[in-house]
């Protein structure tokens, strides 16, 4: 299965154009949150309409899943906690998003619930009710996990080099506990822009049985992105992940039991 991970595009239309242009080359495109930009002069409501159109283009090109990030929150949900309310329109258009799951055979073809790769899409939760819902979502999917389990979760775990800003670890403490409890194969994240570009930071980190990936963020028409080529079959995750940026390309072997040293090509 070939997978593309991008995150934190923050209403960069040239970068979205690039993602649409390459989407057909992948079995799954994952956009791990922060589609909107709260610093923009354009209202979030107007931004969301444009982003939803891009989601339609991505769906037409192939298969896409999207999660929310902190920039995507547009109002209180039924429990009074902030949520990305506009993503309900993406779900209505057939795009899996916050709280949804997708089951795929690892060759990327469409499955009928009998696939060997489960993708769980988590929201940017904003309070105890949202946290409890995410906890229940992970527990429910953990009870039916197939050979391979991937999470889409906007914020990387605290203490990981994938959340290192250059001066501090800026990560999610709850995710640390969930990874320890459920041991997913891969967590696809974003949120912290700097780690791949900082000494002691990283775009990939092995935590026990779990890979955590964060592509970071760069300016320009092509976003930082991670390509995954995941091999089919039971057992530990096998295949490769490559990080692409203006610095060049790095690659890791997903069967490695530890995070390898960084090497730019």
Pairing mode, if any, of strands 248-253 and 64-67? unpaired
pTM: 0.95
Residue with tokens 């992940």: 241
The ranges of the chain with pLDDT < 70 are 106-114
Cα–Cα distance, 12 to 54 (Å, whole number): 11
The DSSP element (H or E) to which 14 belongs, if any, is helix 13-22
The reported pLDDT for the residue numbered 112 is 43
What is the phi/psi pair of residue 56, to 5°? -60, -45
**Are 212 and 183 spatial neighbours (Cβ–Cβ below 8 Å)?**
no
In angstroms, the CA 115 to CA 24 distance is 21
Q: Which CATH architecture has domain 2-253?
A: 4-Layer Sandwich (3.60)
**Residue 151: C-alpha distances to residues 9, 189, 225, 240, 264 (Å):** 19, 8, 17, 17, 26
Q: Which two tokens stand for residue 160?
A: 């990981």
pLDDT score at 100: 98
Question: How do strand 28-32 and strand 2-6 relate by DSSP bridges?
Answer: parallel
Query: What pLDDT was estimated at residue 108?
Result: 59
């Amino acid at each position: 299965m070939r997978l593309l991970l991008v995150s934190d595009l923050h209403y960069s239309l040239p970068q979205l154009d690039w993602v649409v242009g390459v989407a057909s080359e992948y079995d799954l495109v994952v956009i791990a949150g922060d589609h909107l930009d709260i610093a923009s002069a354009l209202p979030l409501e107007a931004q969301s309409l444009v982003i939803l159109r891009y989601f339609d283009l991505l769906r037409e090109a192939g298969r896409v899943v999207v999660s929310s990030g902190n920039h995507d929150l547009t109002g209180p949900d039924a429990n009074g906690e902030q949520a990305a309310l506009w993503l309900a329109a993406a779900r209505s258009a057939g795009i899996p998003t916050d709280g949804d799951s997708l089951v795929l055979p690892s060759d990327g073809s469409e499955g009928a619930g009998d696939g060997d790769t489960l993708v769980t899409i988590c929201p940017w939760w904003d309070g105890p009710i949202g946290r409890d819902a995410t906890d229940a979502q992970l527990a429910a999917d953990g009870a039916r996990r197939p050979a391979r389990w991937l999470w889409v979760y906007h914020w990387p775990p605290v203490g990981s080099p994938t959340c290192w800003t250059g001066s501090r670890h800026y990560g999610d403490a709850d995710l640390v506990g969930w990874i320890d409890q459920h041991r997913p194969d891969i967590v696809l994240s974003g949120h912290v822009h700097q780690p791949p570009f900082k000494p002691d930071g990283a775009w990939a980190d092995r935590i026990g049985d779990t890979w955590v990936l964060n592509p970071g963020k760069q300016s320009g028409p092509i976003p930082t992105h991670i390509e995954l080529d995941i091999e089919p079959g039971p057992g530990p995750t096998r295949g490769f992940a490559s990080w692409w940026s203006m610095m060049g390309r790095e690659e890791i072997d997903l069967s490695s039991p530890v995070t390898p040293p960084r090497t730019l090509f």
